[in-house]
Amino acid sequence: MEKNKIRVLSGQELSKVLTMKDCINAMKDAFSALWKGEVEVPLRTGIDMVPDNGGALFMPVYLSNISRVGIKTVMINKDNPGKGLPFIHAMVMLFDSHTGAPLALMDGEVITAMRTGAVSGLATTLLGREDAKVAAVIGTGTQGETQLEAVCCARKIDRAYVFDLDRDRAEAYAVKMSKKLEIEVVRATSEKMLLKADVVCTSTSSQKPVFDDANIANGTHINGVGSYRPDMAEIAPRTIQRAKVIVDQKKGCLSEAGDLIQAIQQGFITADHIHGELGDVINESVPARENDREITVFKSVGIAVQDLVTADLALKLAKQAGIGREIIL
Ligand SMILES: NC(=O)c1ccc[n+]([C@@H]2O[C@H](COP(=O)([O-])OP(=O)(O)OC[C@H]3O[C@@H](n4cnc5c(N)ncnc54)[C@H](O)[C@@H]3O)[C@@H](O)[C@H]2O)c1
C-alpha cells in the first residue's frame, strides 16, 4: 500500500509563504466556522513538568468544512534561555480528516506568532476606530512584532510607541519594526504616551496590569494577547470595566484569561460584561464599535483552530511555490 508524502516546513519557509494579510483573512474563516459550530476544539491539555522546570501544552482541533485535523504541541522549558536554548519549542501536525493521512509537519513558533498577530489584526479591523493612526505595543517579544504588523495591516498607522521592561529589547524592536513596516516606531519614555495611542497591544508575560487605567483615552481599542493563566493579567480591571469586551472564545477566556477572571473576582465586572465572541462580531449578532468614544478590548488566549487554518494555508502556498521538502514515514 502506498504511503502519502508529508511536507515538512521550517520556520524560515513559513515566513516566506505566509503574509499577514492572508492570515487575517484566514482568521475570519476560522472564527466564522467556530461560530457556526463547524469546529471541534476541546480546551487545551497541559502537563506540568516540575522536575524539568517547564510544561507541555497540547492543542487538538478538527475543522469539518476543510476536512482537516491538527494538533500543536508547545514545550516550555524555563531553564532554556540560561542554556542558550529557546524558551519555547512548538510543532504543528496536520492531517486529512477523510482518510486520516498525515499531510504536514511544521514549525509551530512562526504559525503561533502569525495567527496571534492575525487575530488581533482582525479584531482591530472590526473594533478599532476607522481613523486610528497611532499604535502602542507593550511587550516587544516575538508576539509584539506580529501584533504591530497586524495592526498596520488593519489601519493606516504612521507611528507606534513601544514599551518593555527590557529597554535594550524595546530599542532593538523599534529599529527593526520601523524598517520593516516603514512607520515611525519609538521606545516610549513615559506611560502617559499611551494616551496618544488609538490601538494598544499588550503582549507580555506579566502577572499584573501593565498600564494604569488613567492612561487609556476614550476611543482606544486594546488587543490583549499575553495572559493565558488565571494568575496572569495585563489589562487594568478598571479599563475592562469601562470597555466593551470581546473575546476569542468565552469558555477559554473564563477559564484562562486572568485579565477577566481577576476583574470578576475583584468585583469590577461579572461574566455577563463579556459582550460577545469575535465570531459574533463577524456575523453581526452583536454590534461592534458603536461610537468613537467607546473603549473596546479584544482578549485572546488562543484557539487551536487559528493554528489549523494558518497551517492549512501555509501548506497550500508552500505546495504552489514548491517550498519545503517531502518525506514518507
Ligand atoms: N493569546 C495567544 O494566542 C498567545 C499566543 C502566543 C503567546 N502568547 C503569550 O504572549 C506573551 C508574550 O509572548 P512572547 O513569545 O512575545 O514572549 P517574550 O518573552 O518573547 O516577550 C515578552 C516581552 O514582554 C516584556 N514584559 C514582561 N512584563 C512586562 C511589563 N510589565 N511591562 C512591559 N514589558 C513587559 C518582556 O521583557 C519581554 O520582552 C506570553 O505570555 C505568551 O504566552 C499568547
* pLDDT tens digits, 275-301: 999 999 999 999 999 999 999 999 999
**What are 189's strand-pairing partners?**
none
Name the residue of 168, 171, 204, 249 to mutate for ligand 1: max ligand atoms within 8 A of Cβ: 204
For the chain, which domains are there? 6-111+305-327 (3.30.1780.10), 120-302 (3.40.50.720)
- pLDDT at position 73 is 98
User: Does residue 169 have its Cβ closer than 6 Å to ligand 1?
Assistant: yes
Q: How confident is the model at residue 43 (pLDDT cuts 50, 70, 90)?
A: confident
- Kindly report the backbone phi and psi dihedral angles of residue 302, in degrees, each rounded to the nearest multiple of 5, phi listed first: 95, 130
Decide if 101 contacts 81 (C-beta within 8 A). no
**Residues with Cβ within 8 Å of residue 99, at least 6 apart in sequence:** none
Tell me: the pLDDT tens digits for 94-126? Answer: 999 999 999 999 999 999 999 999 999 999 999
Integer Cα distance of 67 and 96 in angstroms: 6
User: Does residue 158 have its Cβ closer than 6 Å to ligand 1?
Assistant: no
Pairing of strands 45-49, 199-202: unpaired
Decide if 56 contacts 71 (C-beta within 8 A). no
Integer Cα distance of 266 and 189 in angstroms: 31
Distance 170 CA to ligand 1 centre (A): 13
Which one is predicted more confidently, 43 or 190? 190
Distance 142 CA to ligand 1 centre (A): 8
State what percent of residues in the chain have pLDDT above 70. 100
Summarize the confidence of residues 183-212 as an average pLDDT.
97
Which residue minimizes the CA distance to atom 20 of ligand 1? 141
Residue 1 has pLDDT above 80, yes or no: no
- Name the residue with cell 479599563: 239
User: Does residue 223 have its Cβ closer than 6 Å to ligand 1?
Assistant: no
Does residue 136 come out as left (phi exceeding 0), alpha (psi in the -120 to 50 range) or beta? beta
Integer Cα distance of 199 and 104 in angstroms: 36
Q: Identify which of 324, 328, 327, 306 has the alpha carbon closest to the alpha carbon of residue 72.
A: 306
- pLDDT at position 26 is 98
**Residues with Cβ within 8 Å of residue 244, at least 6 apart in sequence:** 127, 275, 289, 290, 294, 295, 296, 297
Residue 320, classified by CB atoms within 10 Å of its CB into exposed (0-12), middle (13-18) or buried (19+), is exposed
Three-state secondary structure call for residue 233 = coil
Summarize the confidence of residues 305-329 as an average pLDDT.
97
Cβ count within 10 A of residue 53: 12
Tell me: the pLDDT tens digits for 118-164? Answer: 999 999 999 999 999 999 999 999 999 999 999 999 999 999 999 99
Integer Cα distance of 51 and 48 in angstroms: 9
- Kindly report the backbone phi and psi dihedral angles of residue 40, in degrees, each rounded to the nearest multiple of 5, phi listed first: -105, 110
Average pLDDT over the chain, rounded to an integer: 97
Tell me: the pLDDT tens digits for 236-280? Answer: 999 999 999 999 999 999 999 999 999 999 999 999 999 999 999
- pLDDT at position 225 is 98
Atom of ligand 1 nearest to the CA of 113: 6
User: Does residue 80 have its Cβ closer than 6 Å to ligand 1?
Assistant: no
Pairing of strands 68-77, 184-187: unpaired
